[in-house]
Amino acid sequence: MLAPQVKGGSLVASSYAVKDYMTEEILCVGVNDTIGHLMNIFLERDVSRAFVVDEKDRIIGVVTMTDVLRRLVRKKAVWKWRPLSDMVVTRAMTRGPLLSCEPGSSISEACRLMTERQVSGLLVLNRDEPMGVFTKTDAARFYAEHPAGHSTREALSEAVRVSPVTSIARAADLMLSKGVKCLCVTEGDELVGVVGLRTLVFLEKRSKVSVVDTSMGRISDELGSLKVSEAMDREVTTASLDGELAEAARAMVETGYSGLPVLDSRGNLAGMVTKTGVVRVLGGV
């Protein structure tokens, strides 16, 4: 029963402190900043979260790219975007108190907490003073540098599939309801692409469409009819089912993907390996 932990992640991660791998820069936005401003930060800085501070520079919440997608997608409509110009980030943020850890906490402890509480990052506090943030990306970077013998199979999760003709609206709904950040696009049993959270959030910026402001929000018929095939990434980085988990972790860090499709020995889609799976291994959960 103890063999997997002796073999790998959790034992190794228990010997390293969060402070050695945390991201020291804490990106913040103000309570009066708009989601449009936040999206520009996400795009320019290649990040997926920002903390929200009040007028006294106290952190009162966090807003992630998933939160933005949730606000952008309007239920019972094909595809509607709420006005970004007048929607403040506090409308989308998760309010404090936020989950945190100490700089001296072990990476194993931090990963266990993230897994149990189903969060993608922890604020690192030293006597209530913010020192940085420890995220799933930091955890993946740690494991890529400290492989512990786990295979991709040990961190495998179910692949959420869509077809090339699935609507973008349906893809967004699936991503939110399944709690994933990447969808596999398949034709029959063949993997033909992936569509990620970042792609959906910035779809309007990538698409040459006209968007009309209305009292109900920002609506584009062209976006409403857009299919996954028109937005997906066709060049797909994959992982091998029995390959080294460290290789998959390294690929996720280098490419910026939150997950990779996993192929078996016959080239069939077996599932997904994600940063969440790496965190679970490191936490021994």
Domains and CATH numbers, the chain: 3-145 (3.10.580.10), 152-283 (3.10.580.10)
pTM recorded for the entire structure: 0.86
Q: What are the CA-CA distances from residue 148 to residues 30, 51, 199, 207, 259 (Å)?
A: 41, 33, 32, 43, 19
Q: Which of 79, 54, 22 is nearest to 221 (CA)?
A: 79
% of the chain at pLDDT higher than 70: 85
The residue with greater pLDDT, 138 or 225, is 138
Residue 211 has pLDDT above 80, yes or no: no
The dihedral built from the CA positions of residue 175, 101, 48 and 14, taken in this order, carries a sign that is negative
Could you tell me the two tokens for 130? 């913010």
Residue 75: its pLDDT value, please?
44
List the Cα angle 276/282/285 in 5-degree steps. Answer: 75
* Mean pLDDT rounded to a whole number for the chain: 87
The residue with greater pLDDT, 167 or 73, is 167
- Do strands 100-101 and 80-81 pair parallel, antiparallel, or not at all (unpaired)? unpaired
User: How far is C-alpha 235 from the chain's CA centre?
Assistant: 19
